[in-house]
Amino acid sequence: MATIPVYSVPSVTAGLPTPAVKHRPFKALNPVFIMTSIKDFMTVDHRHCDDFFAESEQAVAAQAWDRAGAAFGSFQAAMQHHFAAEEELLFPAFELKSGMTMGPTQVMRVEHAQMRELMAAAQASLLAKDADDYAGNAETLLIMMQQHNMKEEQVLYPMCDEQLKDQMATLLLQLQQAL
């Protein structure tokens, strides 16, 4: 099995301890497994982000603040890449093909902004080493992510698969490069 490279994510963890963070770029997750749908591809990336979030929560529970900061930095970086891939590649392609600009993609963009605010609040809690405040922000963020991911995985991504089937190979390659 290939070794997964270790990266530091200082731009996302400003003010937090910045030891080397296990940030596995999406393309390093499983280069052998080829996905043929947007739904499958993006769902795997949701789980990738979830793993970093869980690692951060476990570290906060153990009051391992350096580890929590590093894991949360990896989570934020993975989430920002995911949001950017959707907002810059997937959503515009879907909107162009479907003609829907004020539908599900607009709702997802609003939710992305809300999650960014929650991530910033959670990061501030980590900086203050305030486990209770972090837990409140993290719980709200977790519920929002679960609802958001369900909407994408059950509604939007299948719509994208249908609308974008003629450009699937190119779009999947672009998404992989972005993540």
Residues 1-58: pLDDT tens digits?
Answer: 333 333 333 333 344 433 334 444 444 444 435 668 999 999 999 999 999 999 999 9
Cβ proximity of 66 and 17 under 8 Å: yes
Number of alpha carbons in the 13 Å side-chain half-sphere of residue 12: 23
- pLDDT, residue 36, reads 82
Say if residue 65 is exposed, middle or buried (CB neighbours under 10 Å; 0-12, 13-18, 19+).
Answer: middle
For the whole model, what pTM was predicted?
0.81
Q: Is residue 34 part of a domain?
A: yes
19 in any annotated domain:
no
CATH number of the domain to which 166 belongs: 1.20.120.520
Q: Can you give the pLDDT at residue 52?
A: 95
Q: Is residue 42 part of a domain?
A: yes
Is residue 124 included in any domain, yes or no? Answer: yes
pLDDT tens per residue, range 100-131: 988 999 999 999 999 999 999 999 999 999 99
Which pLDDT score is estimated for 2?
32
Residue 178: inside a domain, yes or no? no
Range of the domain at 159: 26-171
Kindly state whether residue 76 falls inside one of the protein's structural domains: yes
Specify if 64 maps to a domain. Answer: yes
Residue 22's pLDDT is what? Answer: 43
Between the CA atoms of 155, 109, 80 and 153, what dihedral angle is there, to the nearest 10 degrees? 0
Does residue 21 form part of some domain? Answer: no
161 has pLDDT over 50: yes
Q: Provide the number of structural domains found in the chain.
A: 1
Q: What is the pLDDT of residue 34?
A: 60
